[in-house]
Amino acid sequence: MEETREINALLHLIDDPDNEVFDTVSNRIVSYGRPIIPNLEQLWENTPDEMVQEKIELLIHRLHFHELQADISGYAKATHHDLLEGALLVAKYQYPHLADTPVLQEIEKIKRNIWLELNSYLTALEQVNIINRIFFSYYKFKGVEVSYQHPEEFLINKVLETKRGNSIMNGIIYQLLCGLLDIPVKAINIPRQYLLAYFDTSYDYFNPKKENNNNIHFYVDPMNGHVYTHKDVENYFKKIGVPITTSYFKPMDHRLILQFLLEELAKCFDTGDNLYKQTELLALADVMGMIIS
């Protein structure tokens, strides 16, 4: 952005020790939006004072956050909700300069390797066995227990890079691949688990004719590709003492998946220095969630 007289004056006031002055200045700077970021980055490079650098970093973060908040609101209000697009938006909280193309290319590469092994004569279980072989054995994706000490395991770009993800992110990538291959595997809202289900291809997601889990052939654990039967899931419900209801066996809205992802990612930032990130991520989750009917 061209440095006007006002912008120049604002940038010179960033180091003012008066908190009220800084709050006023920072709010005005943020009002300029993303185009002012290069000016702030240049100022950071030419500022030897670490405390002033921290103030500049906070301003840049606020600018990225405001933009992301607007993007997530637009995504949530849209008529179509692409799961990959949403997962990229979540990753951009930590990596605001993340380029979409490398992620899209990696997903496409994995999809193509699975597609080469598929044919129209395979059963549902045979299709999933092929996906599992490519995903877990060939590409060596590893499922790890959810750990709030490792925020990278909630981010699609990092999981594709390290091949190490928790059940939520592994499940999102697994579902993405199935969607690209027209295989009806969707996340369902099982309590205390992130589980995928292979649906009957005649299932109408908007007007289901059957009740409970009768539309589902079987279940897939995104941690390792293990297949569970209806009996396995019924036993799980008995174990945790939760009554089975129809709502647990419907495909999750992509926005609900992303809201859950944001809420879980927020739990990674529960210490003093990072507590503001938890607040921001929960605010983004609320933006996603308030649109869902």
Write out pLDDT tens, residues 72-109: 999 999 989 999 999 999 999 999 999 999 999 999 99
Distant-in-sequence, close-in-space partners of 249: CB < 8 Å, separation ≥ 6 = 188, 197, 212, 213, 215, 216
> In terms of C-beta distances under 8 Å and separation of at least 24 residues, what long-range contacts does 263-266 make, across chains too?
264/146, 264/148, 264/154, 264/168, 265/90, 265/93, 265/151, 265/154, 265/155
**pLDDT score of 1:** 55
For the chain, give the longest Cα–Cα distance: 72
Q: 218: helix, coil or strand?
A: strand
pLDDT at 210 over 60: no
Q: For residue 254, name the pLDDT band (cuts at 50, 70, 90).
A: very high
pLDDT, mean over the chain: 90
CA distance 222 to 178: 12
CB 274 within 8 A of CB 286: no
pTM of the model: 0.89
